[in-house]
Amino acid sequence: MSGVLVIAEARQGALRDISFELITAAREISAAGSITVALIGSDPGLAAQLNATGVSEVITIASPVDHFEPHVSAAAVGRLVDELSPAVVLAGHTIDSLGFGAAVAAVKDAGFASDVTSLAWDGALTVQRGLYGDKFLQTLTFPGKETVVILVRPGTFGATSPGNGSANVRPGADVDASAVRSRHTGYREPEVGDVDITKADFLLAIGRGAGAEDESDLEPYYELAERIGATLVSSRPLVDAGLVPSARQVGQSGKTVAPKVYLALGVSGAVQHLIGMRKADTIIAVNTDPSAPIFGAAHYGSHADLSDVADALKDAFS
Amino acid sequence: MKIVVPLKVAASPDESAKIEGNALDESSLEWNLNEWDTFSVEAALQLSEAHGGEVVVVSLGGDEVEDGLLTALAMGADRAIQINVEDETHKLDAISTARVLAKAVESESADLILCGVMSSDGVSAGVGTALAALLDLPRVAVVNHIDYSDGQLSVRRELEGGLLEEISLVTPALLTIQTGINEPRYANLRGIRAASSKPREELTIERLGLDEDALADGSATVQALALPPVSEGAEILEGDAQDVAARIAQIIKSKVGS
């Protein structure tokens, strides 16, 4: 058992960043053996980009359907595991991979860990992942497992530059049409709201800690935003509760923003939220929970009561 | 239609949480029905109300599991299966959990299995997809809309950046359910009273023909649990709310300009 098999990810005709982040991750455990990248069910023309430094082989696998299909991916990865006996399979902790990663691990009786943030190889694989909203860090090993399937958290590793490699690029065996068990019928683009939060210089973000139970509870925050010249955005829970329109959601399933200032009130900082805002120039976080992960991303923080700070801030801008 | 909903009762550590060996001190843990699973229960109830049928909830774990199942029964589920993990030290990982659930629910021949996308404590997001594979069911992960008619499912998968993908598949099938798909109901008093008289079956892993010790070895071995390394992190602004607001105002003005 040796080698690292990377499962590339593409959508709507383009490779996603995670593909190149996974190649970086694979290079960090290059002692496990050579790196093979698999491109499943996508335009084989994209393979040239995956031929990056450190990659030995790129295998393109044709799918009977035009779009990502989790059962096709599971079948393709399962067969590559049989053929190549890789020590490690790396895929993204992404929506696509959540549809097949654990399936491959269960069927192949492989080791499995998801949302992984660090990897090391010392004759065997050791990984780390966050638990309880990243308040704790777990270290895992996989004794007795010939292959380990790892889903890597997006944005954890820098992306390897596309191309420039010296890999052998070849087609693998096609996946049979009988593997297909669901049908793509279309995409729906995200809702366009009354405001484009990606264009604003200054965002006021509110989270679950704002304690809002209905829309009227949010009025003071909209007023505050207007007073201080910010655009109001939120983390997922307030959008799920129907209190804030999805066009104002920051995070993995919402918008990615990079304003000059991001003022977060009562936002705990779940990783899905941090992915969407960590590129802001200056992040200020107010949260009464000193162990909230948002403080790891913020430049300035306060543990003061957020409604007191909000009131005082309103006065400071009057 | 018969809908099976696997549930997890998830742990959240309080501020005093201490690490004991490779786990957290049990006394610092509060147990609640996993947030994602409140949405999958609600989705199942809405489908059974619209199309008729039965909602069966199933969970495995220690004593904490009973309350979670009762919550789901009080919301309106019809029947519960509780699988007791005999050895309290056995914290089964996602793949092992799926193996137990597969054994427990295969004889139910469900039309639909609805799992939460993930649990708030383990955050593996692996149980549903592994369970579908073990039961050889077609699956869609991270669903935030379901239409059902005569064995046909039209669902939406929530992709990164808010993009949605529309997918059709036929039952029997398994979906993993994202938060926000619906508004989970609260159990009312009548529901709570009714819950305790609804059918509940108790099983053990051994009675399902599985070896608990072997499952505990699972798909990974926990070597350590630690606090994350302290990042440089934020400069903490001192003083009362007035002082903090004054500093924040100063930072905003210098960075945004006004």
Please work out, in degrees rounded to the nearest 5, the angle formed at the alpha carbon of residue B127 by the alpha carbons of B125 and B128: 90
CB contact (8 A) between residue B12 and residue A93: no
Domain final residue pick, A179, A205, A240: A179
3-state DSSP call for residue B41? Answer: helix
In a domain, A213, yes or no: yes
Residue B258 has pLDDT above 60, yes or no: no
Which has more confidence, A193 or B31?
Answer: B31
Same domain, A257 and A146: no
Band (pLDDT 50/70/90 cuts) for residue B166 is very high
Same domain, A66 and A172: yes
Same domain, A62 and A208: no
- Contact residues on chain A for B226, CB-CB shorter than 8 A: 136-137, 139
In a domain, B242, yes or no: no
ipTM of this complex = 0.95
Same domain, A42 and A154: yes
CA dist A172 → A38, A65, A72, A103, B237 (Å): 9, 16, 14, 21, 57
Same domain, A130 and A203: no
Q: Find the range with the poorest average confidence among B1-5, B13-17, B231-235.
A: B231-235
Those residues whose C-beta lies under 8 Å from the C-beta of residue A249, and which sit 6 or more positions away, are A233, A234, A235, A236, A239, A255, B162
In a domain, A280, yes or no: yes
In a domain, A188, yes or no: no
Band (pLDDT 50/70/90 cuts) for residue A59 is very high
Same domain, A76 and A169: yes
What rounded mean pLDDT belongs to chain B?
94
Q: What is the pLDDT of residues A132-142, one digit of tens each?
A: 988 899 999 99
**Residue A259 belongs to domain with CATH number:** 3.40.50.1220
Band (pLDDT 50/70/90 cuts) for residue B174 is very high
In a domain, A192, yes or no: no
Expressed as residue numbers, the domain containing A61 is: 4-179
What rounded mean pLDDT belongs to chain A?
95
Picking from A101, A187, A281, the nearest residue to B165 by CB comes out as: A187
Testing the interface with A: which of B8, B182, B244, B254 to mutate, by most A Cβ within 10 A? B244
CB contact (8 A) between residue B160 and residue A263: no
The CB-side HSE value for A192 (13 A sphere, CA atoms) comes to 1
Sequential DSSP letters for A12-66:
TTEE-HHHHHHHHHHHHTGGG--EEEEEESS-GGGHHHH-BTTEEEEEEE--SSS
Using the Cβ of A114 and the Cβ atoms of chain B, whether some distance falls under 8 Å is answered with: yes
CA A159 to mean position of chain CA atoms: 13
Mean pLDDT of the B169-182 span: 97
Please tell me the distance from the alpha carbon of residue A317 to that of residue B253, in angstroms, as a whole number. 10
Domain final residue pick, A153, A179, A205: A179
Mean pLDDT of the A286-309 span: 93
Sequential DSSP letters for A65-114:
SSS--HHHHHHHHHHHHHHH--SEEEEESSHHHHTTHHHHHHHHT-EEEE
Expressed as residue numbers, the domain containing B181 is: 2-217
CB contact (8 A) between residue B138 and residue A71: yes
Q: What is the pLDDT of residues B217-249, one digit of tens each?
A: 899 999 999 988 776 778 999 999 999 999 999
Same domain, A130 and A220: no
**Pairing relation of β-strands B9-13 and B29-33?**
antiparallel
Q: How many domains does chain B have?
A: 1
Band (pLDDT 50/70/90 cuts) for residue B173 is very high
Which has more confidence, B91 or A124?
Answer: A124
In a domain, B248, yes or no: no
Mean pLDDT of the A279-299 span: 93
Length, in residues, of chain A? 318
In a domain, A175, yes or no: yes
Band (pLDDT 50/70/90 cuts) for residue A270 is very high
Domain final residue pick, A151, A179, A207: A179
**Residue B46 belongs to domain with CATH number:** 3.40.50.620
Same domain, A170 and A221: no
Q: How many domains does chain A have?
A: 2
Beta bridge partners of B6: B58
Per-residue pLDDT at B240: 92
Same domain, A12 and A143: yes
Residue B21 has pLDDT above 70, yes or no: yes
Residues 134-173 of A with CB under 8 A from B: 134-145
**Residue A76 belongs to domain with CATH number:** 3.40.50.620
Per-residue pLDDT at A118: 97
Same domain, A79 and A15: yes
Q: What is the pLDDT of residues A79-128, one digit of tens each?
A: 999 999 999 999 999 999 999 999 999 999 999 999 999 999 999 999 99
In a domain, A184, yes or no: no
Residue A234 has pLDDT above 80, yes or no: yes
Same domain, A108 and A229: no
Q: How far does the CA of residue A167 sit from the closest CA of chain B (Å)?
A: 30
Mean pLDDT of the A24-34 span: 97
Mean pLDDT of the A210-218 span: 91
Per-residue pLDDT at B130: 98
Same domain, A162 and A33: yes
Tokens of A117: 């943030």
Tokens of B129: 């997809």
- Contact residues on chain A for B147, CB-CB shorter than 8 A: none
Per-residue pLDDT at A186: 97
Tokens of B257: 């300009």
Per-residue pLDDT at B70: 97
Residue B81 has pLDDT above 90, yes or no: yes
CB contact (8 A) between residue B180 and residue A308: no
In a domain, B70, yes or no: yes
Beta bridge partners of A136: A131
Per-residue pLDDT at A1: 75
Picking from B134, B160, B180, the nearest residue to A94 by CB comes out as: B160
Residue B135 has pLDDT above 80, yes or no: yes
